[in-house]
Amino acid sequence: MMNVKNILTYAFVVLFIAVLLIPLLRSFSSVNDSTAWMEKREVAEFPSLQFNKLDKFPKQFNAFFNDHLGFRKYIMLANGIIKNDLFNVSSRPDKVIKGKDGWLYLARDDFNEDYYMNVNPFTENNLNAVCEEIQRRKDILAELNIEYYLFMLPSKHHVYPENLPDNINQLDTISRLDQFMNHMQSDYNVNVINTLDTVIQTKSDTAYFYDKDTHWNLHGAAFVYTVMMDELKKRYSDLNILNCMSWERKTTVIEHQGDLSLLMGRYDYKMKNNVVTVPPSDFKVNYESVAVGELPEKDKFLAAPERFVSNDSLAPKVVVMHDSFATLLKKFMATGFSESLFVWTHEFTPEIIEQEKPQIVIELMAERFLTQLQEKEIEK
């Protein structure tokens, strides 16, 4: 008869083998454990075996295996709980910075702690390349008698640095955004507006950004909308601007997971800083969503374009090139223009603009995309 010690030994061995095999077996089942929706990326496909590229196969297969491992979603959650909650560190330090009081910050690509700390400023050549590209866009539109506005949108790092970890401090007071703005204002003739300073000056206990997401909440979007429209009103005095900053505000906790918490696999997190603006009961929307129609340059789209038409036929027509920060801005902005087309792209789209024939082109650019713009110009 086996004693208790032997039974426990065999049980441990069986359990160990099961822990290894069950996720593997689940990988080959029909159950979908993909975390692509959380990590916002394409999952690795099974690599093709090519004899002239055998050196790449192990790395490609490893990526495929990791992405398709059974229970990946739950493994990521367990890893997050252990690292985030027990050791108070980020479970994905290459993607997310874990700040104070539950705040999370983006740490992806070149937009990480080094960017915030101003470790790698623009070189003179890189800065000139970026500024000249912006001037080129303005010149192209000027030939078509179209006004061009570039609005630089603030990063969470610069608006709420107080919630970053204590080990992340700025080594220089001049950021890449500062370099860009100073150079554009001194040596170029473009309507470039940095919304960061105004956002910082008006900070209050009512947060502009979600604590566990890259983006601003509805309150932050409403405020930046007023900053943008006030700037446009200097040129277009008859623009209709919503007085949305006087609307009622409510702060709630929502079940929706922020993009940063999902990057760490923490689909159990909730966002606290959900500040919504509530319009008065007699408020009426003056626009409607209409079919976009056929557009050129579809390969540049990151999401389906949206078109709105208002009942103010005398207002100017606008094309807005934007990133994900415009998601909450669109329906504020749509009230001020006769027709507005929103195109989610990181590229300049002159063919669309020539087809649409707007009076105004607005580009909304989060400051982290300045680096990408620099890289594209260097490639030319």
pLDDT greater at residue 359 or residue 300: 359
pLDDT digits (tens, 9 = 90+) for 157-206: 999 999 999 988 888 889 999 999 999 999 999 999 999 999 999 999 89
Cβ atoms of 312 and 286 within 8 Å: the answer is yes
DSSP string, 71-100: THHHHHHHHHIIIIIIS-S-S-TTTEEE-G
How confident is the model over 332-357, as a mean pLDDT? 94
pLDDT greater at residue 5 or residue 246: 246
The pLDDT, as a whole number, for residue 358 is 98
The pLDDT, as a whole number, for residue 378 is 45
How confident is the model over 313-321, as a mean pLDDT? 96
How confident is the model over 89-114, as a mean pLDDT? 85
Return the closest-CA partner of residue 94 out of 80, 79, 111.
111
Determine how many CB atoms are found less than 10 A away from the CB of residue 268: 10
Q: How many residues in the chain?
A: 380
pLDDT greater at residue 117 or residue 79: 117
CA 76 to chain centre: 22
What's the predicted TM-score (pTM) here? 0.83
Q: Give me the percent of the chain exceeding a pLDDT of 70.
A: 81
Q: Give me the percent of the chain exceeding a pLDDT of 90.
A: 50
pLDDT digits (tens, 9 = 90+) for 280-297: 887 877 788 888 888 998
Instruction: Answer whether residue 329 shows pLDDT above 50.
Output: yes
- Of these ranges, 41-55, 124-138, 258-272, the one predicted with the greatest mean pLDDT is 124-138
The pLDDT, as a whole number, for residue 169 is 86
pLDDT digits (tens, 9 = 90+) for 208-245: 999 999 999 999 999 999 999 999 999 999 999 999 99
Average pLDDT, rounded, for the chain: 85
What is the rounded CA–CA span in Å between residue 344 and residue 306?
A: 9
pLDDT digits (tens, 9 = 90+) for 52-66: 666 666 676 566 656
What angle in degrees, to the nearest 10, is found between the helix axes of 369-379 and 124-143? 90
Residue 379: which pLDDT band, with cuts at 50, 70 and 90? very low
pLDDT digits (tens, 9 = 90+) for 113-166: 777 888 889 999 999 999 999 999 999 999 999 999 999 999 999 999 999 999
Beta-strand pair 317-322/360-366:
parallel
Q: How many CA atoms lie within 13 A of 298 on its CB side?
A: 5
- Within 69-188, strands assigned E span 96-98, 104-106, 147-153
Instruction: Answer whether residue 18 shows pLDDT above 80.
Output: no
How confident is the model over 351-357, as a mean pLDDT? 96
pLDDT greater at residue 40 or residue 1: 40
How confident is the model over 300-318, as a mean pLDDT? 92
How confident is the model over 8-28, as a mean pLDDT? 67
For 238, residues 6+ apart whose C-beta sits below 8 A from its C-beta are 314, 315
